[in-house]
Amino acid sequence: MATPLPLLSTGPTPARRALLARRVRWLVAATIAYNTVEAVVAITAGTLASSTALIGFGLDSVIEVASAAAVAWQFSSADHERRERTALRIIAVSFFALAAYVGVESVRALLGAERAEHSTIGLALAAVSLAVMPVLSASQRRAGRELGSRSAVADSRQTLLCTYLSAVLLVGLAVNSLFGWWWADPAAALVIAAVAIKEGREAWRGESCCSPTTAPAAAGDCADGCCTPEQPR
C-alpha cells in the first residue's frame, strides 16, 4: 500500500493573514511614535553637544519613521503584496541617504571639525532604545515572516538596526565622556553609516524574506530562515 504524501502548507489562512496584517499595522504605528520622539531628542541633544554620532542616530530615527510609513502605506491596501516592491525601494533609499549624510559628517569631524561634548541625555536615550527596540523588532519580524512580507521583515530589520546603533552610540558617547576620546564619536557614526549601506543593499535586492506561499528554497537561499512560514502563535 502506497504511503500517502504529506500535505504541503500554503501559508496562513485568509483570516490569519488579516490578523497578521492588522498586527503589522499596530507595530508600525508604535515604531513611528517611538522613533518620532527619539529623533527629536537625539537631534536636539546632538546639536547641543556637537555629536555627529548622536545626530546620525536621530536621523536614523527619521529614516525609520519613513520606512515604517512606507510599510503602513503598503498595508493600507487590501492587496498589499502589489505595493511591496515600492515599499522596499523606499526603505533602501532611506538607508542610503542616512549613510551618505552620516559618512560625510563623520569624516569632517575626524578631519578636525568641532569635537563632541558630554551628553547625559544622549547616554540615557541610547540606553532606553537599547531596551525598547529589540521588542518591537522581534514582534514585527515574527508577524512579517508568517505573513511572507519582505517589506515588513525589512522594516523589522531596520528597527533591529536601531538596537545595534544604540549600543554603538552608547559606547561612543561613554568613551568620549569618560576618557575624552573625541574621535570615538565620529568613529561610532562611521559604524552607523557602514551598517546602513549593508541594510540598504539588502532591502533594494529584496533579500529580507522569502515568500511562504512558494515552494521551499534550496538550502542556503534564504539566510534568515524565513522561507518556511512560522507556525501561528
Q: Which residues contact 208 (CB under 8 A, 6 or more apart)?
A: 88, 150, 151, 153, 154, 157, 202, 224
Answer yes or no: is 223 within a domain.
no
Average predicted confidence (pLDDT) for the chain: 76
**In-domain check, residue 142:** yes
Note whether residue 144 is domain-resident. Answer: yes
More confident residue, 4 or 80: 80
DSSP H helical ranges for the chain = 14-49, 52-74, 84-110, 120-147, 150-179, 184-205
The pLDDT confidence band at residue 3, using thresholds 50, 70 and 90, is low
Tens of pLDDT, residues 55-102: 888 888 887 788 778 777 777 766 667 777 777 888 788 788 878 877
CA distance linking residue 28 with residue 137, whole number of Å: 10
The more confident residue out of 154 and 178 is 178
Distance CA 120, CA 97 (A): 28
For residue 20, give the nearest of 113, 135, 149, 130 by alpha carbon: 149
Mean pLDDT of 195-204: 81
- Asked if residue 42 is part of any domain, the answer here is yes
- Please check whether residue 196 lies inside any domain of the structure: yes
Question: What's residue 79's pLDDT?
Answer: 65
CA distances in angstroms from 107 to 6, 194, 220, listed in the order given: 58, 13, 37
**Residue 40 scores a pLDDT above 90:** yes
Distance CA 89, CA 203 (A): 7
- CATH label of the domain that carries residue 101: 1.20.1510
* 169, part of any domain: yes
Q: Can you tell me the distance from the alpha carbon of 185 to that of 106, in angstroms, rounded to the nearest whole number?
A: 8
Q: Domain range spanning residue 99?
A: 14-205
Which of 8, 5, 71 is CA-nearest to residue 35?
Answer: 71
- Residue 41 in domain: yes
| pLDDT, average across residues 45-49 | 89
230 found inside a domain: no
| Model confidence band, residue 215 (pLDDT cutoffs 50, 70, 90) | very low
Q: How confident is the model at residue 37 (pLDDT cuts 50, 70, 90)?
A: very high
Tell me how crowded residue 208 is: count the other CB atoms within 10 A of its CB: 27
Count of other CB atoms within 10 angstroms of residue 147: 27
5 vs 159, higher pLDDT: 159
Confidence of residue 229 (pLDDT cuts 50, 70, 90): very low
Q: What is the number of structural domains in the chain?
A: 1
- pLDDT surpasses 90 at 44: yes
The C-alpha cell of 96 is what? 542610503
